[in-house]
Amino acid sequence: MGRAVVQGSGARYGRGLVDRLSGSVVVGVSLSSPSKEETRWMDAVVQLGCIACRVMGVFGTPCEVHHLLKNGERIDHLHTIGLCPSHHRSEINNMHIVSRHPWRREFETRYGTEMQLLNLTREKINGKI
């Protein structure tokens, strides 16, 4: 079984991270370690694969954990969905793929809102963790 990895792109700085390329502070990044329950959830999310690919009829695509935000900050590790690198952070926006970062509106128009994708993820995982 794959293990969830919560990625960070820089050094700790207060409530966020310092992006090593731009030097800017990235806010809304949770620095707390996931609990056992949260780790089990994120492991299940990784096992399910990319939820955006799944919406398109492609199953089992390896994914990263994407944290849903509220008021610009991560809610917690239980409010996460799996997105492959292309759907998560590739910055692509074309007829084949829309990346969540930075194209949130287009992403949600094509695949569903993040809350809808979280609910779909929960439906698929329910009973497996």
The residue ranking higher by pLDDT, 69 or 11, is 69
The pLDDT, as a whole number, for residue 94 is: 97
Confidence class of residue 128 from pLDDT cuts 50, 70 and 90? low
CA torsion through residues 111, 107, 76, 54, sign = positive
CB 77 within 8 A of CB 38: yes
20, 12 Cβ separation under 8 angstroms: no
Across residues 63-75, what is the average pLDDT? Answer: 94
Q: What is the dihedral of CA 101, 52, 58, 64, to 10 degrees?
A: 60
Please report, for the chain, the start and end positions of each structural domain, with discontinuous segments joined by +. Answer: 34-125
Q: What does the alpha-carbon distance between residue 29 and residue 10 come to, in Å, rounded to a whole number?
A: 11
Q: What is the pTM assigned to this prediction?
A: 0.75
Q: Which numeric CATH code is attached to 34-125?
A: 3.30.40.190
- Provide, rounded to the nearest whole percent, the portion of the chain with pLDDT above 70: 74
Q: Where are the alpha helices (DSSP H) in 1-129?
A: 36-48, 51-55, 85-89, 104-111, 114-125
Q: Given this model, what pLDDT does residue 97 score?
A: 97
* pLDDT score of 107 more than 80: yes
